[in-house]
Chains A and B, each alone.
Chain A
Amino acid sequence: EVQLVESGGGLVKPGGSLRLSCAASGFTFSTYTMSWVRQAPGKGLEWVSSISSSGSHIYNRGSLKGRFTISRDNAKNSLYLQMNSLRAEDTAVYYCARDQQYSPLDIWGQGTLVTVSS
């Protein structure tokens, strides 16, 4: 079964850090671009970051101003999102999704909730 499973969310204080993980199974992870998409409570979907299959190309949402770093380990079939200097407005459910240029985000994880609050 093709599957993505996120982990690592939780409650963190403003200014803190968190690392999200996404474990992939059922497909050849190393051949796909992967993306993170978030959804703040009651809001729409917002693309966060993408990484090419080899990791050589990385794309980030400009408004994040370098606070978030996407990475991957193809040997472990895993995607990561390192989030630093977290703010209240980063509170959201974070989804990982399988991606490819010209293709849709066809596989999504169940999401992991990140809450930034003092």
Chain B
Amino acid sequence: DIQMTQSPSSLSASVGDRVTITCRASQTISGYLNWYQQKPGKAPKLLIYAASSLQSGVPSRFSGSGSGTDFTLTISSLQPEDFATYYCQQSYTEPPRTFGQGTKVEVK
């Protein structure tokens, strides 16, 4: 199975900061990498699909990049509503649908 490794596992940031989260796959997944945001008590929400495509309704301060095995989620200017946990997930292969372990973005 393909393993997904996110870093860091948590970070502290302030409103207005630029935030970068990385995700590495254990083997190539081409561009089939998705990013989700989850807030406490809520279901995950799709932010980015196919590495860099913004899901409808998601603010443009979110962006994704990468291909092969290395991927990045960037929040260009952190807003109060962006404090949450972020997960990467690969959709290259048939299931299992592996997720990264998550990155919690906390208030500095």
CB pair A101 B99 closer than 8 Å:
no
A88 located at the interface, meaning its Cβ lies under 8 Å from any Cβ of chain B in the complex: no
Is B87 on the interface with A (CB-CB < 8 A)?
yes
Knowing A35-B97, A59-B96, A61-B96 touch, does A104 contact B43 (C-beta < 8 A)?
no
Which one of A8-16, A24-32, A43-51 is at the B interface? A43-51
Report whether B95 and A44 are in contact in the complex, using a CB–CB cutoff of 8 Å: no
Which one of A99, A102, A110, A111 contacts B32 once the chains associate, using CB atoms below 8 Å?
A102
Contact bitstring B81-108, A, C-beta under 8 A = 1, else 0: 0000001010110111111111000000
A109 to B96, CA, bound (A): 19
Residues of B in contact, count (CB < 8 Å): 24
Task: Convert B1-37 into 0s and 1s, putting 1 for each residue whose CB lies closer than 8 angstroms to a CB of A.
Answer: 0000000000000000000000000000000101010
**Contact B89–A104 (Cβ < 8 Å):** yes
Residue of B nearest to A44 (CB): B102
**A106 B43 Cβ-Cβ under 8 A:** no
Output the nearest chain A residue to B47 by Cβ-Cβ distance: A104
Closest to A6 in B: B43
- Complexed CA–CA distance, A59 and B96 (Å): 7
- The chain A residue sitting closest to B30, CB to CB, is A102
| Contact residues of A between 52 and 106, Cβ < 8 Å to B | 57, 59, 61, 95, 99, 101-106
